[in-house]
């Protein structure tokens, strides 16, 4: 197959190398927002490829129309999976659609250069698809789209939210964020540490996004020539997360909506302080249980491809429900602040680097209990105390 002029050759264009930093300015916990701190069980799942994973510059064929690449990342997660889908080009040729990209760091861009020189050396990139807005998923989407002369495909909820967060740059931490931390029960030292940490680092993790994009939405079928992928959206971890389901091949690209070994972070944040992300997350689990067969190969953003979708979804739902039960039971005995719930919610101590994300998760659980009428909230001088309802 002839190589098109837009095909990257592993050598950055003038000035592009300087646009991708070598070192992240963000602590581990804020890199991706993918990893929750809650205990989960992956009992009952099977891993057809075992612990195998693609090496640098290589891919593993998963099913008809799907190949697997792994992009290394710093931090506790260590990687993100990129799924390469067989696609048709506009002139009837063969191409590859890229799903999720890694963050805007040279560690990740170097991995892509190795792929361009290796498994993708004769491939033509046709489009970039972002499952959702977090930097490990779209951090290099604009870079790949620019170098390959292709478009970025995302849901509207994810694209517009990403743009809003990138634009939210401030020299000081917003008062809304500080007020939420005080409401959670943070002490003065933690508040001062938050102030010193700055604000608006999201944009540092994302190469400039293209001004225009192609909107995808729930129920759309993406025609990729011999393969068709249906968009199935979920919410809670992010506003309008897109999963891709290929019924004929029996494959689900699940992004962060279904992960095999960890539970995705589900948090309340200052953008929507009265939102119910855990309610949306639980509803999305029910939606996937009803829409997708149990025997598909699940291709997650982190971890290995697995089978046992319904087993995993049920475990995620039941574990969240159990945590809600434990919280309601504890608050029936004595009122609690968000920080007091950490030992009941999480399976590890919460240090300074993780306190913000843990607080967001705690508020998500407390909001769900409020909506279900199982707790009430009392404001005591800016600190929120939650009481169980008999």
DSSP secondary structure letter of residue 247 = T
Enumerate the β-bridge partners of residue 199: 170
Question: How many whole angstroms separate alpha carbon 44 and alpha carbon 307?
Answer: 9
Question: How many whole angstroms separate alpha carbon 154 and alpha carbon 163?
Answer: 12
Is residue 157 included in any domain, yes or no? yes
Report H helices in 83-123: 106-117
**Residue with structure tokens 């025609």?**
223
Is residue 12 included in any domain, yes or no? no
Q: pLDDT (tens digit, 9 = 90+) per residue, 28-71?
A: 433 344 445 555 666 789 999 998 999 999 999 999 999 999 99
Domain extent for 199? 17-309
Is residue 342 included in any domain, yes or no? no
Number of folded domains that form the chain: 1
Report pTM.
0.91
Q: Are 83 and 103 in contact (CB under 8 A)?
A: no
Is residue 146 included in any domain, yes or no? yes
Angstrom distances, CA of residue 201 to CA of 48, 132, 170, 271, 357? 38, 18, 10, 15, 15
Q: Are 235 and 284 in contact (CB under 8 A)?
A: yes
User: Domain containing 106 — which CATH number?
Assistant: 3.60.15.10
Q: pLDDT (tens digit, 9 = 90+) per residue, 67-126?
A: 999 999 998 889 999 999 999 987 777 899 999 999 999 999 999 999 999 999 999 999
pLDDT > 70? residue 128: yes
Is residue 5 included in any domain, yes or no? no
Is residue 26 included in any domain, yes or no? yes
Is residue 198 included in any domain, yes or no? yes
- φ, ψ at 307 (rounded to 5°): -120, 150
The per-residue pLDDT for 38 is 56
Mean pLDDT of 180-186: 98
Cα–Cα nearest to 252, from 201, 207, 225, 287 = 287
Q: pLDDT (tens digit, 9 = 90+) per residue, 328-359?
A: 999 999 999 999 999 999 988 899 989 999 99
Cα–Cα nearest to 253, from 208, 302, 209, 217 = 302
Per residue, the 3-state secondary structure of 332-378, as one string, reads HHCCECCHHHHHHHCCCCCCHHHHHHHHHHHHHHHHHHHHCCCEEEE
Is residue 69 included in any domain, yes or no? yes
């Amino acid at each position: 197959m002839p190589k098109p002029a837009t095909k990257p050759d592993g050598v950055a264009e003038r000035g592009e190398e300087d646009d991708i930093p070598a070192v992240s300015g963000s602590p581990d916990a804020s890199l991706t927002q993918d990893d929750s701190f809650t205990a989960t069980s992956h009992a009952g799942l099977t891993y057809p490829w075992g612990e195998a994973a693609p090496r640098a510059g290589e891919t593993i064929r998963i099913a008809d129309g799907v190949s697997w690449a792994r992009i290394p990342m710093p931090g506790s997660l260590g990687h993100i999976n990129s799924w390469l889908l067989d696609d048709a080009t506009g002139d009837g040729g063969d191409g590859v659609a890229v799903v999720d990209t890694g963050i805007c760091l040279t560690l990740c861009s170097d991995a892509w250069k190795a792929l361009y020189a290796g498994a993708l050396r004769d491939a033509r990139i046709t489009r970039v698809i972002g499952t959702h807005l977090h930097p490990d998923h779209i951090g290099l989407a604009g870079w790949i789209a620019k170098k390959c002369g292709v478009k970025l495909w995302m849901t509207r909820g994810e694209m517009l939210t990403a743009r809003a967060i990138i634009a939210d740059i401030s020299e000081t931490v917003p008062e809304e964020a500080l007020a939420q931390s005080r409401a959670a029960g943070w002490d003065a030292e933690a508040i001062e540490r938050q102030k010193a940490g700055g604000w608006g680092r999201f944009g540092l993790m994302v190469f400039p996004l293209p001004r225009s994009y192609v909107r995808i939405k729930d129920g759309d079928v993406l025609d990729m020539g011999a393969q068709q992928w249906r968009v199935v959206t979920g919410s809670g971890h992010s506003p309008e997360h897109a999963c891709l389901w290929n019924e004929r091949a029996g494959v689900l690209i699940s992004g962060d909506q279904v992960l095999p070994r960890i539970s995705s972070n589900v948090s309340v944040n200052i953008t929507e302080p009265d939102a119910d992300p855990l309610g949306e997350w639980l509803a999305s689990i029910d939606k996937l249980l009803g829409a997708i067969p149990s025997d598909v190969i699940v291709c997650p953003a982190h971890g290995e491809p697995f089978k046992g979708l319904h087993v995993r979804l049920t475990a995620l739902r039941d574990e969240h429900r159990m945590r809600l039960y434990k919280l309601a039971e504890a608050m029936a005995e004595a009122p609690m602040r968000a920080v007091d719930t950490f030992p009941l919610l999480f399976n590890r101590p919460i240090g300074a680097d993780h306190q913000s994300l843990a607080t967001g998760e705690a508020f998500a659980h407390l909001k769900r209990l409020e909506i279900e009428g199982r707790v009430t909230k009392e404001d005591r001088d800016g600190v929120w105390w939650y009481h169980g309802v008999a």
